[in-house]
């Protein structure tokens, strides 16, 4: 999408099919082959596929923590690779196999996708504040794109759970569900379009436009084109410029240094990308079990996500890429996203097509180096 107006640059769903076949008419056998295909080529995944967001939601959660003053962005929390809720013996682990991040501040936690940090932040915020803030980014409702069939995803809350389940014992919202929510897992579901729209709002620092495919209508008799103005949506006004800047620095850090996409999509960049990887579980893992991709059936492997906007200082494009059962976001989706960004932003000589406005300052990742405890 173009963050400045909501124009959809590309909307892709694969595997697909040749729509021309429907124009000439399909035989029953041809239609059955499409209908019964295990890869579901007739479903427009961009609009109708619903998936856990994984860690792509962490920048929005970080912004919520800043707005609600639930976190000191410069203080460091030590990540030992596991997180225990106060008063509980249940352990929540880092998604990265055997991963520990050591001391991380908020920017580091975004760039290196530290689950332990965001478990703690989610627990401090609580489910109601998380849900209400994510609603500002359009989750839980249709984006309003000018094409039919869009799904709304699912934005869970205490109220939602009370209505969704009939048995009283199933209506209780548990603290473990909150920390799961904090890393984009559990009941929370998004469409790729919603995630791209959310990314464009990050790029625009809260400003929002409805996604659209049609920018004008041509009169069939006169040939005259009537342009359609972009439709502004509700803007996020609660965050300060400094708070937005902190989140942006974390996303830029994803592509550099020890960031999760630095080695796969951040190499030899000639412009600044702000990104976030995401790895979304397809099925739940038992208390004492560990996920091993080599032993899991292919269609039960984690989904791979990557969101990004670029150039980070003056965004021209925002995107979301999903690879179903593609594994880590850094290895599955991020390299594809980089190819798309390069194709859109660079000319044949590798130069940026859209020069940055005069006086634009480079947006660089930053870590404060201050020590402290981020959460009680």
Task: Give yes or no for a cis peptide into 15 (omega within 30° of 0).
Answer: yes
Q: How far apart are CA 190 and CA 235, in angstroms?
A: 20
Phi and psi torsions of 278, nearest 5° = -150, 140
Q: How far apart are CA 334 and CA 260, in angstroms?
A: 10
Q: How far apart are CA 195 and CA 316, in angstroms?
A: 17
Distances, alpha carbon 206 to alpha carbons 63, 186, 200, 202, 234, in Å: 11, 26, 9, 6, 9
Q: How far apart are CA 162 and CA 128, in angstroms?
A: 13
Q: Alpha helix (H) ranges present in the chain?
A: 20-24, 28-35, 45-48, 58-67, 106-111, 115-125, 127-136, 158-164, 175-181, 192-203, 241-253, 334-345
CA terminus-to-terminus distance, the chain: 39
* Secondary structure letter of residue 239 according to DSSP: S
- Biggest alpha carbon–alpha carbon distance for the chain: 73
* Secondary structure letter of residue 123 according to DSSP: H
Q: Cβ contacts of residue 61 below 8 Å, gap of 6+?
A: 118, 121, 122, 125, 130, 133, 134, 182
Q: Decide: 48 and 191 in contact? Cβ < 8 Å.
A: yes
**Which entry of 13, 55, 113, 304 is annotated as an active-site residue?**
55
Phi and psi torsions of 279, nearest 5° = -130, 115
Q: Decide: 189 and 50 in contact? Cβ < 8 Å.
A: yes
Active site residue 227: no
DSSP, collapsed to helix, strand or coil, labels residue 274 as strand
Q: How far apart are CA 76 and CA 369, in angstroms?
A: 8
CA angle 355, 211, 136 (to 5 degrees): 100
Distances, alpha carbon 25 to alpha carbons 21, 22, 92, 113, in Å: 6, 5, 53, 49
Enumerate the active-site residues: 55
């Amino acid at each position: 999408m173009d963050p400045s107006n909501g124009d959809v640059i590309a909307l892709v769903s694969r595997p697909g099919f040749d729509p021309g076949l429907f124009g000439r008419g399909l035989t029953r056998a041809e239609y059955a082959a499409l209908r019964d295909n295990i890869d579901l080529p007739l479903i427009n995944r961009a609009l109708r596929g619903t998936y856990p967001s994984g860690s792509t939601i962490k920048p929005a959660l970080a912004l919520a923590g800043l707005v609600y003053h639930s976190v000191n962005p410069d203080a460091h929390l030590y990540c030992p690779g596991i997180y225990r809720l106060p008063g509980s013996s249940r352990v929540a682990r880092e998604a990265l196999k055997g991963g520990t991040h050591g001391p991380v501040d908020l920017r580091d936690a975004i760039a290196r996708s530290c689950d332990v940090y965001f478990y703690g932040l989610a627990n401090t915020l609580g489910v109601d504040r998380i849900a209400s803030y994510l609603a500002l980014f359009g989750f839980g409702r249709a984006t309003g794109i000018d094409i039919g069939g869009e799904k709304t995803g699912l934005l869970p809350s205490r109220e939602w759970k009370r209505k969704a389940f009939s048995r009283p014992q199933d209506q209780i919202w548990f603290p473990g569900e909150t920390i799961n929510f904090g890393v984009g897992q559990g009941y929370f579901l998004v469409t790729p379009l919603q995630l791209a729209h959310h990314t464009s709002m990050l790029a625009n620092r809260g400003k929002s436009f409805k996604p659209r495919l049609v920018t004008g209508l041509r009169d069939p008799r006169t040939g005259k084109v009537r342009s359609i103005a972009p439709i502004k949506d509700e803007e996020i006004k609660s965050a300060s410029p400094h708070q937005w800047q902190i989140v942006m620095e974390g996303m830029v850090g994803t592509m550099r240094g020890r960031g999760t996409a630095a080695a796969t999509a951040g190499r030899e960049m000639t412009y600044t990308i702000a990104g976030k990887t995401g790895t979304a579980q397809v099925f739940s893992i038992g208390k004492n079990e560990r996920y091993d991709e080599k032993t899991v059936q292919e269609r039960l492997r984690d989904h791979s996500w990557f969101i990004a906007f670029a150039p980070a200082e003056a965004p021209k494009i925002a995107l979301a890429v999903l690879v179903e059962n593609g594994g880590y976001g850094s290895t599955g989706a991020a390299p594809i996203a980089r190819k798309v960004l390069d194709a859109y932003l660079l000319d044949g000589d590798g130069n940026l097509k859209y020069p940055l406005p005069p006086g634009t300052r480079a947006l660089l990742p930053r870590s404060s180096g201050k020590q402290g405890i981020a959460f009680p």
